[in-house]
């Protein structure tokens, strides 16, 4: 059996769907094929513990999607297909061993007062950052939203030079190259303020001493204060189902539970795909693959360009993540204070040195002795996710090695995730318990999702790497995934890549999908 389409899209992640939605809006016949029975990739939700308790599988914070160029373009259509947001005014906080905390809220006066109480000079520094954020963010957002082609980048650099002058442009360049520790210690005196912001670097594979990571703690701190945090009302799947509804309303199709075994190409041009059931689909304009670079060769074989093929195989992945989904009788009683029950995220990442050590342990294949915990409290923001009076917790345990070589603490002998999952999860829960005594007594049910489970569910999450590849400088900007191909093109004509492995990288902003959709539509 065979069928025809203008574009075949492999994978139903949010970048794939954004690309498909834009192309179908432009009149293309689009067919999205997803091997899993459930669409969404890392952006989905379900009742993973008990009936009535809705958990986000991986992505919880959808601020980037809400503020994306794609959403701005199609907000009305997405809303018509069921998308609604749940805004959080108390965005993120960090707790510390001395039973204190710091947090960023969507109110600059409140946030500044917290930081000033911790350190008056840091309060003044935060106030200065807040004042310059609109102007500075314009340059950063311009970079992050720009296609990484030489001409586009040169144009952006020239505009930045005209706007900021030579000194200002060089200062911006220095900032983009700085590590989180370099920028944070240069800007703030208090180790607690430094840790509050540095925790965000760990979300994107930027431990404190990794060059190029300063931008993310800065942007998350300033953007959360300026705009708040956003969750999808009812769970992350709301985003996915809204995009699918939009695609189908525009004549496209989304098929789940079907696996693409081969991308058909001959004479250097992609012409379609072959499915595991033997059927084929012909693409007259494009085959768009949302696959991890290391998995592309399984579908195409060699592309004919050795440098590209080597780059795909040598593509570097970040350490993995272990997820713990908890159905709760009540929220944690944080030792640092009841006010923490109002925050969407609570980080357990008390200092820069501990974050750096945890990262190095995971990179060495060791189960960290003190993992980073991101404790999401989504029902504080969106009570619809649990029965009345009940809650869910979303625990992201960072970092976790995709392949286990040993245990940094010398307690866990297992080197496969099937046996290491329970004791490592207990270590994370022990850590949570030390900051919120009695939390274990509130657990109704739990589900542990290991790095191996994440990869089995979604092959793009190699080793449980939720960002689909390190964002270090040698694999970012023009080098994501390979120099010359940051716009999603490949050496095979009509074959394109999208997803978190393509510029602008990870996050829920649908950047690579929408940029590619616009490119293919001739915009």
CA gap 260, 469 in Å, rounded: 22
Task: Please check whether residue 340 is in contact with residue 183, taking contact to mean a CB–CB distance below 8 angstroms.
Answer: no
| Backbone CA torsion sign across 187, 190, 196, 199 | positive
CA gap 14, 395 in Å, rounded: 22
CA gap 240, 446 in Å, rounded: 24
CA gap 60, 82 in Å, rounded: 18
Mean pLDDT of each 10-residue bin along the chain, 523 residues long: 84 98 98 97 98 98 96 98 98 98 98 98 98 85 74 62 73 88 98 98 95 94 96 98 98 97 96 95 97 96 96 96 98 98 98 98 98 98 98 97 97 98 98 98 98 97 96 94 96 98 95 97 94
Give residue 172's pLDDT: 80
Give residue 141's pLDDT: 77
CA gap 247, 333 in Å, rounded: 44
CA gap 120, 112 in Å, rounded: 10
CA gap 483, 456 in Å, rounded: 29
Query: Length of the chain, please?
Result: 523
CA gap 92, 351 in Å, rounded: 16
364 DSSP 8-state letter: T
Task: Tell me the CATH number for domain 2-49+57-84+234-315+465-520.
Answer: 3.50.50.60
Task: Please check whether residue 346 is in contact with residue 94, taking contact to mean a CB–CB distance below 8 angstroms.
Answer: yes
Structure tokens, 347: 């980080």
Q: Which residue has the tokens 């695609």?
A: 247
Every domain of the chain and the residues it spans: 2-49+57-84+234-315+465-520
Structure tokens, 37: 């029975």
Structure tokens, 61: 């914070």
Element (H, E) at 34: strand 30-34
Q: Which residues face 272 on adjacent strands?
A: 264, 282
Give residue 189's pLDDT: 98
Give residue 261's pLDDT: 97
CA gap 289, 297 in Å, rounded: 12
Give residue 170's pLDDT: 79
Give residue 340's pLDDT: 98
Element (H, E) at 14: helix 14-25
Give residue 3's pLDDT: 73
CA gap 456, 147 in Å, rounded: 32
Specify the pTM: 0.95
Element (H, E) at 221: helix 215-227
Give residue 1's pLDDT: 37
């Amino acid at each position: 059996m065979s069928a025809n389409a203008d574009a075949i899209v492999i994978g139903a992640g949010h970048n794939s769907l954004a690309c498909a939605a834009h192309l179908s809006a432009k009149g293309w016949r689009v067919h999205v094929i997803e091997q899993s029975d459930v669409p969404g990739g890392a952006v989905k939700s379900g009742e993973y513990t008990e009936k009535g308790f809705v958990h986000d599988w991986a992505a919880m914070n959808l601020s980037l999607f809400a503020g994306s160029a794609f959403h701005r373009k199609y907000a009305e259509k997405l809303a018509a297909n069921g998308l609604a947001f749940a805004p959080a005014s108390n965005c993120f906080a960090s707790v510390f061993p001395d039973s204190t905390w710091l947090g960023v809220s969507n109110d600059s006066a409140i946030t500044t007062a917290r930081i000033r109480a911790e350190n008056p000079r840091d309060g003044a520094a935060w106030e200065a950052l807040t004042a310059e954020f609109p102007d500075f963010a314009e340059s950063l957002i311009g970079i992050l939203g720009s296609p990484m082609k030489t001409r586009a980048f040169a144009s952006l650099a020239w505009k930045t030079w005209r706007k900021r002058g030579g000194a200002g442009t060089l200062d911006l360049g220095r900032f983009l190259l700085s590590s989180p520790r370099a920028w944070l210690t240069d800007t703030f005196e208090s180790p607690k303020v430094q840790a509050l912001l540095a925790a965000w670097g760990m979300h994107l594979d930027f431990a404190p001493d990794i060059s190029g990571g300063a931008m993310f703690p800065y942007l998350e701190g300033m953007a959360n204060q300026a705009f708040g945090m956003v969750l999808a009302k009812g769970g992350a799947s709301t985003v996915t189902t809204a995009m699918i509804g939009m695609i189908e309303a525009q004549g496209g199709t989304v098929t789940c539970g079907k696996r693409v075994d081969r991308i058909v190409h001959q004479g250097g041009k992609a012409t379609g795909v072959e499915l595991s059931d033997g059927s084929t689909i012909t693409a007259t304009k494009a085959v768009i693959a949302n696959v991890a670079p290391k998995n592309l060769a399984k579908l195409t074989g060699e592309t004919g360009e050795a440098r590209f093929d080597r780059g795909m195989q040598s593509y570097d992945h970040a350490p993995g993540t272990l997820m713990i989904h908890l159905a709760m009788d009540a929220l944690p009683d944080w030792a640092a204070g009841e006010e923490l029950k109002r925050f969407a995220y609570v980080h357990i990442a008390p200092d820069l040195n501990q974050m750096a050590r945890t990262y190095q342990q995971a990179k060495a294949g060791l189960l960290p002795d003190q993992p980073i915990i991101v404790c999401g409290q989504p029902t504080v923001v969106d009570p619809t996710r649990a029965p009345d009076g009940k809650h869910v917790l979303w625990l992201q345990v960072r970092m976790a090695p995709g392949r286990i070589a040993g245990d940094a603490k010398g307690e866990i002998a297992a080197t496969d995730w099937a046996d290491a999952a329970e004791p490592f999860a207990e270590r994370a829960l022990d850590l949570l318990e030390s900051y919120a005594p009695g939390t274990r007594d509130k657990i109704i049910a739990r589900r542990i999702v290991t790095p191996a489970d994440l990869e089995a569910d979604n092959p793009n999450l190699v080793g449980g790497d939720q960002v689909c590849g390190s964002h270090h400088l040698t694999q970012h900007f023009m080098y994501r995934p390979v120099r010359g191909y940051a716009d999603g093109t490949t050496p095979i004509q009509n074959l394109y890549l999208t997803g978190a492995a393509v510029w602008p990288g990870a996050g829920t902003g649908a950047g690579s999908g929408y940029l590619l959709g616009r490119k293919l539509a001739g915009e």
